[in-house]
Amino acid sequence: MSTVTVTLVQVDGEVITIEDAPVGESLMEVARSRGVDGILGDCGGGCACATCHVYVDPAWEAKVGKPDDIEEMTLDMVSHVTRDNSRLSCQIKLAPELDGLRVNVAPAD
């Protein structure tokens, strides 16, 4: 199975680099399996809870893309902490072109 490297910066500033993230999995699944603080994924990846909210590094925004309408509605639940580069990590499917992806975990409140 092909893998990519992704980097997540936790709210406390700790940098977690995952060098063997499987292509095809969501960023949320990979982050949860590695114990990244702040990525809860309470809805299991159903785009229904926003507990896997991240800020995509500006250098990666074009490759990751914008949220669809359903994701936008879910992000509205945490509108007090959303930014233009907000995404739900459950909706980011890892692909070879995302090798090197960097995101910051959004605060829960």
Residues in contact with 18: Cβ distance below 8 Å, sequence separation at least 6, in sequence order: 5, 6, 7, 8, 30, 31, 34
Residue 108: predicted pLDDT:
85
Q: pLDDT tens digits, residue range 39-88?
A: 999 999 999 999 999 999 999 999 999 999 999 999 999 999 999 999 99
Distance CA 9, CA 105 (A): 6
Residue 13: predicted pLDDT:
97
Residue 9: predicted pLDDT:
98
CATH code of residue 38: 3.10.20.30
Number of domains, the chain: 1
The range of the structural domain enclosing residue 74 comes to 3-105
- pLDDT at 93 > cutoff 90: yes
Q: What is the CA radius of gyration of the chain?
A: 12
Q: pLDDT tens digits, residue range 26-41?
A: 999 999 999 999 999 9
